[in-house]
Amino acid sequence: MAVITKYLNLNTSGEEDIIDITNDVSKCVSDSGIKNGIVTVFVPGSTGALTTIEYESGLLQDFPHMLNRIAPKDIPYEHDKKWGDKNGHSHVRASLIGPSLTIPFINGQLLLGTWQQIVFIELDIRPRFRKIVVQIIGE
């Protein structure tokens, strides 16, 4: 049994940028030499999130449209009143989707579906540098 911690460096293009990190996470798993176990992908930060999606251009619009229904950009947020950050909606969206994703793998292969990609979602209102944690535990 071993624990291997790696990082992905991302430069996001700004709000609602959805980045396919499947190949990067797969490479972390391969490079770790661990055959069977779980990989935990985690974003340190409170305005980004991780999930899986079928990575095609339609859904890359549909998912943000849904976020805008549940946490619209154009309504008042207490966070913005207090801090002037203008990203109150970014924070509540990130907390709802969640900062963490755990994916099992066997024989060095992630057990994803064919049309299922791992994505980082930039929810902040400006381009950000993001250092994503990829931690592999297994044997």
Under rule CB under 8 A, residue 42 binds a second copy:
yes
Which of 93, 81, 76 lies closest to 15, judged by CA? Answer: 93
Q: At how many degrees (to 10) do helices 57-70 and 88-97 cross? A: 110
- Identity of the residue, 23 or 106, whose beta carbon is nearer to a second copy in the bound complex: 106
- Rule CB under 8 A: is residue 104 a binding residue for a second copy? yes
Could you give the CA distance from residue 51 to residue 13 in angstroms, rounded to a whole number?
18
Alpha-carbon distance of 99 to 51, in angstroms, equals 9
Does residue 126 interact with a second copy by CB under 8 A?
no
Among 20, 22, 73, 79, binds a second copy (CB under 8 A): 79
- 30, 53, 86, 108: residue in contact with a second copy (rule CB under 8 A): 53
Q: Which listed residue (11, 13, 62, 127) binds a second copy by CB under 8 A?
A: 62
